[in-house]
Structure 1
Amino acid sequence: MQDLKGFLDEKVNLYNRPGFIQNDPISIPHKFTKNQDIEISGFFAAILAWGQRKTIINKCNELFQLMDNAPHDFLLNHEEQDLRPFLSFKHRTFNDTDTLYFIHFLSWFYRNHESLEEAFMIGWSEEENAMGNILKSFHEYFFHLPDSPPRTRKHVATPARKAACKRINMYLRWMVRSDNNGVDFGIWKRIQPSQLICPCDLHVDRVARKLGMITRKQTDWLTALELTERLREFDPIDPVKYDFALFGLGIEEKF
């Protein structure tokens, strides 16, 4: 185990650096300085993060150009006619109906709250294993408005459907993890890094299996928990830093 920890620590140091940002969807929130803009752009970037990374980044840039590259201001102050250009926005199965509901919810939310972190506090507790409840509660809250389209629910994963929740876990890593390396933002303080669950995307899943860190055959919520438990053996305070190592090995080194 010590050999594996040393190997992964080395890869964390290699990939948890500003050079990682440019070709990754995290580059989108790094374009902003205001916390609310970071939260909003990061949320959209994470939700849209499937497919080729270059395409994801291009679609996010397209989306925020429609908001004059000031998403928080747009959400608070847009008028009905300002929504028309979004009728042509689409990324894979995320279409105009989904886009407009996301804007609707976030506009409503930011008129009543300072930070999107508050939406994740509904199911929060100090327990290390609180993330399942946090994500279930967030999903229910996000879609509690009367006109939420049933089709849009699939775009915000929940452990209630046994999903691995890779994109929402990635978003939380961005917002919660805090170090001096300049990749993750660490602007949310109530959820602790020790509570985060490793985003189990295709590359992470493949590398973790090669390293013998996952035994479950399928990739679901329990798989993400299994991997995170292994990572906590290496660093119980900040287990999800190893996402950099596993992802970097998978996508950069084709491990």
Structure 2
Amino acid sequence: MNCKELKSFLDEKVILYNNPYFIESDPVQIPHLFTQKEDIEIAGFLSATIAWGNRKMIIKNAHKMINLMGNAPYDFVMSHSENDLERLEQFVHRTFNGGDFFTFTKGLQNIYKNHNGLEKVFALNQGTDNLQKSIHEFKKLFFEIPHQNRTQKHISDPLNNSAAKRINMFLRWMVRQDNKGVDLGIWKSISPSLLSCPLDVHSGNVARKLGLLNRKQNDGKALAELDKNLRHLDPIDPVKYDFALFGLGVFEGF
């Protein structure tokens, strides 16, 4: 396919998958449970953090996280007692355990109490081309509280050549102005043009088959290559093509 044909093909797949039916089998359904901005942010951040492995298990455990927070994530983050935190110890999703959940709760409290919230932190350090430095600076602030070193692995750093798939997915949910009702688009201080594709096995394999990606590893350099090509197809809303790449890989076995 030439560039025009490829864009037309992918635009059709975006229409096919970027609709409310996508929510039923995706962890984006968790932040959709809420209406308050801070609840949406925290529910989205925690759900994206554990978004690796079996999708049904991700969704099940994301619901469990929210239930452990009394179905009021912002209130829990800001007003929890030490006894409240004890019940988090029972949580586990793959390598993310109760101790990590405890630290993430404290980290989020610090972000909201001392740094004006998640949107402010990410907006403060946004670059002119992408949000990779924003993610890097966010991670530093998030872990300025006492924590176990092992917990840091649950937030990737793109400046260490990570594709940072999960946090880029979270940012897509929060920033992308989606008129189809999937991405929430509640952050207005960051342009969707700066978003990066949540690069994983599925989207990476499809991107290579379509000639959008040559690098074999799904790392930060591969993400930069994919971002460049997706921005060429649509400089205003490049990550809409995540729906096409992911849908082709997961639902069509492309």
The CA distance in 2 between the partners of 1:179 and 1:75, in whole Å, is: 28
Q: Is contact 1:208-1:246 (8 Å) kept?
A: yes
Q: Is contact 2:133-2:159 (8 Å) kept?
A: no
Residue by residue over 1:128-178, the C-alpha shift from the partner in whole angstroms, topping out at 9 and shown as x without a partner, is 24x221111111111122x12211111000012211101010000000000
TM-score, L = length of structure 2: 0.96
Please tell me the residue identity of whatever aligns with 1:140: K
| Aligned match of 1:187 | 186
The CA distance in 2 between the partners of 1:191 and 1:221, in whole Å, is: 21
Please tell me the residue identity of whatever aligns with 2:134: I
1:27 and 2:14 are equivalent in the alignment: no
| Aligned match of 2:134 | 134
| Aligned match of 1:4 | 6
The CA distance in 2 between the partners of 1:93 and 1:164, in whole Å, is: 19
| Aligned match of 2:170 | 171
| Aligned match of 2:76 | 74
The CA distance in 1 between the partners of 2:126 and 2:135, in whole Å, is: 9
Cα offset for 1:109?
Answer: 2.4
| Aligned match of 2:53 | 51
The 3-state SS of whatever aligns with 2:232 is helix
| Percentage of matched positions with identical amino acids | 52
Q: In the comparison of the two structures, how many residue pairs are matched?
A: 252
Q: Is contact 1:204-1:246 (8 Å) kept?
A: yes
Q: Is contact 1:12-1:241 (8 Å) kept?
A: yes
Q: Structure 2 regions of 5+ residues with no counterpart?
A: none
Please tell me the residue identity of whatever aligns with 1:49: A
State the superposition RMSD in angstroms. Answer: 1.2
The CA distance in 2 between the partners of 1:163 and 1:231, in whole Å, is: 19
| Aligned match of 2:104 | 102
Cα offset for 1:199?
Answer: 0.8
The CA distance in 1 between the partners of 2:222 and 2:170, in whole Å, is: 18
The CA distance in 2 between the partners of 1:119 and 1:211, in whole Å, is: 35
Cα offset for 1:113?
Answer: 5.2
TM-score, L = length of structure 1: 0.96
Cα offset for 1:210?
Answer: 0.8
The 3-state SS of whatever aligns with 1:22 is helix
Please tell me the residue identity of whatever aligns with 1:171: F
| Aligned match of 2:250 | 251
The 3-state SS of whatever aligns with 2:96 is coil
The CA distance in 2 between the partners of 1:219 and 1:107, in whole Å, is: 32
| Aligned match of 2:144 | 144
Please tell me the residue identity of whatever aligns with 1:29: P
The CA distance in 2 between the partners of 1:43 and 1:141, in whole Å, is: 15
The CA distance in 1 between the partners of 2:197 and 2:240, in whole Å, is: 8
The CA distance in 2 between the partners of 1:3 and 1:160, in whole Å, is: 34
Q: Structure 1 regions of 5+ residues with no counterpart?
A: none
The 3-state SS of whatever aligns with 1:121 is helix
